[in-house]
Amino acid sequence: MVATLRQLRPPRAIRWVMRWRWISFLFLAVAIGLSFYFWPWGLLGSCILLIGAIWSFKVARHRNRIVGKGSEGEALVAKILDNLTMDARVIHSIQFESGHKMREIDHCLITHQAIFCIETKYLRGKIIGLPDDREWTLHKRARKTRSRYKRGFYNPLKQVATQIYHLRSYLESHLTPRWAQECSQIWIQGIVVFAHPQGDASSVTSAEHGVVTLDHLPKYLENYHPPTRAHRLSYGLRREIARLLTNETS
């Protein structure tokens, strides 16, 4: 196993946390300026901007809490992948541009059988959903009030399917013709990993669809067999894909 941990641009969610923080600081600075230079006529505008600063700061704090939980789940999955005994290369926090947008993949495992595109979910509570549903439902209990509630989230199987589409498109368009031809015949398997120790994903886990818990991830990878029509990845193709996804030079 060869692990590739690299410093990339911060994930999009973290960038949005920083943007909301800057927005709150901007509102606060303008509010202070209005009250100082246009006192007392600017008092009303200052109050409105102050309310905006408080609101944007709360948004930043909420988003930062969500990002922190997601990062913890990704770290748990990364530890599992880095300690596998398989002949494979794992790359974490992949970012590439496809379809005029920045795409992000939590983990990518490159083996001689297939490429695994891994999406990590760190959700506490019981997850309910069907493979074809647009949204799945998270049932949980509030920590403070202990009241039960539920919320929907986008079906991670559809999310990882979109990632696979753009990953294949990116690889085939950026590899040299020789490797792009071989890449078009390989198999890319999506995996959704529910990593929270207090999460219950028993109703959605399925080896057929690639939905597993953290504990079952190693066994799933070791026992995985791609479709018979899929071509094996040569050493050269694996090297070129890893080089492209990590922006390494020859």
Average model confidence (pLDDT) across the chain: 84
Residue-wise pLDDT tens digits, 158-197: 999 999 999 999 999 999 999 999 999 999 999 999 998 8
33 domain residue, yes or no: yes
- Give the pairing type, strands 115-121 and 125-128: unpaired
Q: How far apart are CA 250 and CA 247, in angstroms?
A: 10
Sign of CA dihedral 136, 141, 147, 148: positive
172 domain residue, yes or no: yes
Closest residue by Cα to residue 26 from 48, 47, 49, 42: 49
Q: Name the one residue in this structure whose structure tokens are 């979109």.
A: 162
141 domain residue, yes or no: yes
Q: How far apart are CA 91 and CA 7, in angstroms?
A: 11
9 domain residue, yes or no: yes
Total structural domains in the chain? Answer: 1
Beta-bridge mates of residue 199: 125
pTM of whole model > 0.75? no
107 domain residue, yes or no: yes
250 domain residue, yes or no: no
| Range of the structural domain that residue 111 is part of | 2-245
190 domain residue, yes or no: yes
Q: Residue 147's pLDDT band (boundaries 50, 70, 90)?
A: confident
10 domain residue, yes or no: yes
pLDDT reported for residue 7: 41
**Cβ–Cβ < 8 Å for 83, 135:** no
User: Helix, strand, or coil here: 57?
Assistant: helix
Q: How far apart are CA 123 and CA 196, in angstroms?
A: 6
Q: Nearest 5°: CA angle at 96, between 87 and 88?
A: 0
